[in-house]
Chain A
């Protein structure tokens, strides 16, 4: 208790109080020095822990899909030489295995036969032309007839309406007359009834007899029957008029309806076209004195025509193009989406260091391998058949408004998003933070992705970062070098 009390009443001497002040001053100095140290340390820590990111602006552009496949060169397909059919071959100048150049003489026809064929075809052509003009004349006539029929039907309709109106008027007149008769008969009856009631007692006075009364009654009955008949007659006339108008209208409709399309003219024209083609071949053959020349350079692979034999409509001779080869490659069903006939490709053959540019895909067809497609690229025969190579096929997509690097695209389940850098004012000044922006993926390749979302082309999108970043993280932009 004594100690407590002493402590309670303790009053430090002035010297000690002074030393408290001095100690406090040095404590203040220490505190400020420490705070300065920690300021530096915390800044260093912060700069170490904040991930440094690289950004990119979304841009407008297209996505290029590149398919790279290996393939092998094959000899090109045979080209058939088609000649006029049913002609006698005089001489065959080439045999299988011969190398020919474009313009070399292949074989010769007997042109005598050709002249006969030409005149036959010309006859046929003339017949067809006559047929066509007669068809055309018939068509014109049909058209005129139809116009007349329509005109008449319209007239009929008018007449029917007018005549019907007249009939109706007559019927109405009859109804009116019958009604008047009924009224007069009823008046007579009423008059008779009135007299009979007032002068009942003088019934036998002889002014109206029983016979007269009966006569009035039968008159009224007859008038009534006549009225009913007139009404029925009128209804009949009305119905008749309606039917007549309907009939007339139907006639107009039927007449105006176009005839079933007539293909006779078109068929005849096609026939004429085919004969013209045959004639062209024949004219050419005659002009060349029946000589047939090679259309391309190449090797004769097959000869169907023989001296003295008649030609058929099939090719008479086959030449394999020596200047062109086919590069055959197979692509998967997935890759097929980006491989289309006409795409330009870049090719590099095995052992070569230079790319072959300017080639394009000739065809893409289903392959014998399931789920695969056979790509054919025609190319100059600078290499031996069997040489393998690699082809790079590029296909550009349509232009998208927002294309971002693929590394900027992140997925959260099925939801895609990108992280945008936003500047926010904090107590440390302007600082950058990552902000998540949900996007919809349109199309992507190995490096870029086309997306739609709330992005503008001025936004800074985080394309790469040292560590994983989530929405709201503080980030630092890599200084431009």
Chain B
């Protein structure tokens, strides 16, 4: 028994090529770089106010020109920031539910608008479809900053300024999910559709019974990507929402003063949670979606 184990261990040891080991160290270090801020964040959210102040003071205090210090593990861990945030910061929850409303509302709207749109683009043979789709891609390539002023004018004239509709409506009619879902719908073999048509299925039936189940992965990945985007939305609310009670969570952190840094770190951790969970839910679809969106026609 022992001999066998030893042999297996040896076999395994010898089976790892040194070159491969060395190569894997490099991405390990890179991923560490990505993970470090998150580790700092988790550690910092458990620190007391004075400890954070002591570490950050050289950089933050007026007139000082030093560098902030940081440590992974707090010297005196405390749950105080969390208690303060969860029990004594009603404004945090106002913003949390605003974020939920904006993200979920946008996604529901996209389900209703973008899914049929993508299906049509994928299945139409009309030339205008190609033209329109090209226009869609051009629109998608434009960053928000480019259309910001014109968007502002439109919102102002339509009376949507300072309402959640100013965030929801542009998100509902966003072009990005159409682009992602198009790829998946396009991948459905024409033969399947034709078979259904021969069997006497109408367009709607084909869309609901064949299109949706087969494009499920695309829809889900568009939704996950959409959630991550709308959960972290910052520019649109900053520009379109004046009333603080309408602001989403992404604007909570800039509101926090330096004497409540602990609170901001705890708030960051809580803000992170829905994104992480949604990522876990749609991880598989997301990977497919990213692949789908990166494959050019």
State the A residues within 8 Å of B (CB).
1-2, 5, 8, 17, 20-21, 23-25, 27-28, 31-32, 35, 38-39, 41-43, 45-46, 49, 425-429
Flag whether B86 is at the interface (Cβ < 8 A): yes
Whether A427 and B91, one on each chain, are in contact in the complex, defined by CB atoms closer than 8 angstroms, is: yes
Q: Tell me, in angstroms, the Cα distance from A429 to B94 when the chains sit together.
A: 10
Whether B91 and A426, one on each chain, are in contact in the complex, defined by CB atoms closer than 8 angstroms, is: yes
Partner of A27, one of B87, B88, B277, B284: B277
| Given contact pairs A2-B12, A21-B281, A31-B273, A429 touches B245 in the complex (Cβ within 8 A) | yes
Flag whether B90 is at the interface (Cβ < 8 A): yes
Flag whether B163 is at the interface (Cβ < 8 A): no
Partner of A42, one of B93, B95, B243, B274: B93
Q: Tell me, in angstroms, the Cα distance from A41 to B93 when the chains sit together.
A: 10
Whether A43 and B12, one on each chain, are in contact in the complex, defined by CB atoms closer than 8 angstroms, is: no
Chain A contacts of B92 at CB under 8 A? 42
Chain A contacts of B244 at CB under 8 A? 425-427
Considering residues B92, B94, B277, which has the most beta carbons from chain A within 10 angstroms of its beta carbon? B277
Flag whether B207 is at the interface (Cβ < 8 A): no
Give chain A nearest CB distance to B265 CB in angstroms: 17
Q: Residue of B at shortest CB range from A30?
A: B277
| Given contact pairs A28-B277, A31-B277, A427-B95, A21 touches B88 in the complex (Cβ within 8 A) | no
Give chain A nearest CB distance to B139 CB in angstroms: 32
Q: Tell me, in angstroms, the Cα distance from A427 to B93 when the chains sit together.
A: 10
| Given contact pairs A24-B281, A425-B243, A426-B244, A42 touches B96 in the complex (Cβ within 8 A) | no
Chain A contacts of B12 at CB under 8 A? 2, 5
Give chain A nearest CB distance to B238 CB in angstroms: 14
Number of residue pairs across A and B with beta carbons under 8 Å? 79
Flag whether B24 is at the interface (Cβ < 8 A): yes
Total chain B interface residues with beta-carbon distance under 8 A = 33
Partner of B88, one of A2, A28, A45: A45
For this complex, 20 residue pairs linking A to B, each with C-beta atoms less than 8 Å apart, are A2-B12, A21-B281, A21-B282, A25-B281, A28-B277, A28-B281, A31-B273, A31-B274, A35-B96, A38-B86, A39-B90, A39-B96, A41-B87, A42-B92, A45-B87, A427-B94, A427-B247, A427-B255, A428-B94, A428-B245
Q: Flag B212-237 by CB within 8 Å of A: 1 or 0 each.
A: 00000000000000000000000000
Whether B283 and A21, one on each chain, are in contact in the complex, defined by CB atoms closer than 8 angstroms, is: yes
Chain A contacts of B283 at CB under 8 A? 17, 20-21
Q: Tell me, in angstroms, the Cα distance from A25 to B280 when the chains sit together.
A: 9
Q: Residue of A at shortest CB range from B28?
A: A8
Q: Flag B42-78 by CB within 8 Å of A: 1 or 0 each.
A: 0000000000000000000000000000000000000
Flag whether B97 is at the interface (Cβ < 8 A): yes
Besides A23-B280, A31-B277, A42-B89, 20 more A-B contacts (Cβ < 8 Å) are A2-B12, A8-B24, A20-B280, A20-B283, A21-B284, A27-B277, A28-B277, A28-B281, A31-B273, A32-B100, A35-B96, A38-B93, A42-B86, A42-B88, A45-B88, A46-B90, A426-B245, A427-B91, A428-B90, A428-B94
Q: Residue of B at shortest CB range from A38?
A: B86
Q: Tell me, in angstroms, the Cα distance from A8 to B9 when the chains sit together.
A: 16
Q: Tell me, in angstroms, the Cα distance from A46 to B84 when the chains sit together.
A: 11
Q: Tell me, in angstroms, the Cα distance from A84 to B278 when the chains sit together.
A: 119
Q: Residue of A at shortest CB range from B242?
A: A425
| Given contact pairs A28-B278, A28-B281, A426-B245, A1 touches B13 in the complex (Cβ within 8 A) | yes
Flag whether B16 is at the interface (Cβ < 8 A): yes
Q: Residue of A at shortest CB range from B95?
A: A427
> Which B residues from 130 to 179 make CB contacts under 8 A with A?
none
| Given contact pairs A8-B24, A426-B244, A39 touches B93 in the complex (Cβ within 8 A) | yes
Q: Residue of B at shortest CB range from A32?
A: B100
Q: Tell me, in angstroms, the Cα distance from A375 to B92 when the chains sit together.
A: 67
Q: Flag B250-285 by CB within 8 Å of A: 1 or 0 each.
A: 001001000000000000000001100110111110
Q: Tell me, in angstroms, the Cα distance from A24 to B247 when the chains sit together.
A: 27
Chain B contacts of A8 at CB under 8 A? 24
Partner of A2, one of B13, B87, B282, B284: B13
Q: Residue of B at shortest CB range from A1?
A: B13
Chain A contacts of B278 at CB under 8 A? 24, 28
Give chain B nearest CB distance to A293 CB in angstroms: 90
Q: Tell me, in angstroms, the Cα distance from A35 to B93 when the chains sit together.
A: 7
Whether A427 and B245, one on each chain, are in contact in the complex, defined by CB atoms closer than 8 angstroms, is: yes
Give chain B nearest CB distance to A235 CB in angstroms: 86
Q: Residue of A at shortest CB range from B8?
A: A2
Q: Tell me, in angstroms, the Cα distance from A300 to B210 when the chains sit together.
A: 129
Q: Residue of A at shortest CB range from B281?
A: A24
Q: Tell me, in angstroms, the Cα distance from A415 to B265 when the chains sit together.
A: 40
Give chain A nearest CB distance to B219 CB in angstroms: 15
